[in-house]
Amino acid sequence: MDINKINTRILPVKFQYLAPKTLEEVISFLAEHGEETKVLAGGTDLLVKMKQRLIEPTYILNIKEIKELSFIKSNGNSLNIGATTKLNELENSRIIKEKFIALHEAVKAMGSVQIRNMGTVGGNLCNASPAADLAPPLLVLNSKVKAVSTEGEREIPLNKFFLGPGKTSLKPNELLTEIQIPYLPEDTGTSFLKVARTSMDLAKVNVATVLKLKNGKVENCRIALGSVAPTPLRVCEAEKVLLNSEFTAEKVEETAEKASQEIKPITDVRSTAEYRKEVSKILVRRALQKAYERIKVRECG
Ligand SMILES: Cc1cc2nc3c(=O)[nH]c(=O)nc-3n(C[C@H](O)[C@H](O)[C@H](O)COP(=O)(O)OP(=O)(O)OC[C@H]3O[C@@H](n4cnc5c(N)ncnc54)[C@H](O)[C@@H]3O)c2cc1C
């Protein structure tokens, strides 16, 4: 029996645990020991990997005590969310439900109540799973993340953040502190859909869309998928099919077909590449229709 595949509740690795009280302490520690350190937020991804000995950090740096990293704040043109804001806070946020329903739907589709009580938005992005549920909605919302180190701050567009499974463009000395989501024009529709083996599981495929019409034609269309490539991704060629066209069933079908050609899924424990290609087509079509219906309901309402 392979001990590493059993959930023993034991962390079989030695590490030094630190819980600094200020952001300055965190970033100066990362400046010195970033390479040997793993930041701990909710721990719902990190501890699983440590139990399986996929990672064996020398230091665990708990950032949950840093109050200034947990917030949901409107800042003129964008809604800013602190990295350690818990998933359940996103789920219960009225402004997210009203202004960014795709993000609200994605959080609701994640794990269980217990996972959402522990897991954080920053952890979901920094873990860089191709299946991360918050990635597609945050990608179509043109979000940026803020990274902080002793060298200063920088903003990274989310479409430049994911480099591969478990890999991001954060440097070892950087901490992700904030996610910035620009507000959408009022008459924009968004949506999120996910197919998974069980409600507790990561996605076989997840999809998010943003749609805006002008004079009966599609003025803006963004589509992102997860669990269908090494990183969550926008399907820009598919988006182009719908742009400047009327929103007809035929055009939507063509867009969905193009999206399924653009993705590069693999077969793994959750699904087969063939299933992912087929179901992506259906999810893209349904997600676009859902975004469209949301625009129409608002127009009539
Ligand atoms: C039973 C179960 C069900 C789950 N279901 C889902 C699901 O349906 N959908 C889904 O997407 N995920 C799911 N997950 C995965 C996980 O819960 C989420 O990805 C969660 O958001 C991770 O957040 P966390 O705070 O727990 O991250 P942690 O485990 O604390 O951290 C994850 C990684 O990010 C790094 N990190 C965290 N915060 C920062 C930061 N601010 N700056 C730099 N690096 C940072 C850590 O060092 C670590 O490498 C599930 C997990 C479990 C155990």
Digit-coded pLDDT (tens) for 110-148: 999 999 999 999 999 999 999 999 999 999 999 999 999
Question: What's the gap in Å between 297 CA and the centre of ligand 1?
Answer: 35
Q: Which pLDDT belongs to residue 36?
A: 98
Percent of the chain with pLDDT over 70: 97
Could you tell me the CATH number of the domain that includes residue 235? 3.30.390.50
Digit-coded pLDDT (tens) for 239-294: 999 999 999 999 999 999 999 999 999 999 999 999 999 999 999 999 999 999 99
Q: Which residues form the domain of 101? A: 67-182
- Residue 54 falls inside a structural domain: yes
β-strands 167-168, 175-182 pairing: unpaired
Q: Can you tell me which atom of ligand 1 is nearest the CA of 41? A: 30
pLDDT over 80 (residue 4): no
Say if residue 81 is in the same domain as residue 160: yes
Distance CA 188, CA 238 (A): 19
> Which residues on neighbouring strands pair with residue 228, listed in sequence order?
none
Digit-coded pLDDT (tens) for 104-117: 999 999 999 999 99
pLDDT over 90 (residue 153): yes
Question: What's the gap in Å between 43 CA and the centre of ligand 1?
Answer: 6
Residue that terminates a domain, selected from 62, 88, 103? 62
The pTM assigned to this predicted structure is 0.96
Across residues 35-41, what is the average pLDDT? 98
Distance CA 36, CA 83 (A): 21
Say if residue 168 is in the same domain as residue 235: no
Say if residue 54 is in the same domain as residue 87: no
Cβ atoms of residues 112 and 118 within 8 Å: no
Using 50, 70 and 90 to split pLDDT, how confident is the model at 297? confident
Ligand 1 close to Cβ of residue 200 (< 6 A): yes
Give how many domains the chain has, as a whole number. 3
- Residue 3 falls inside a structural domain: no
- Residue 5 falls inside a structural domain: no
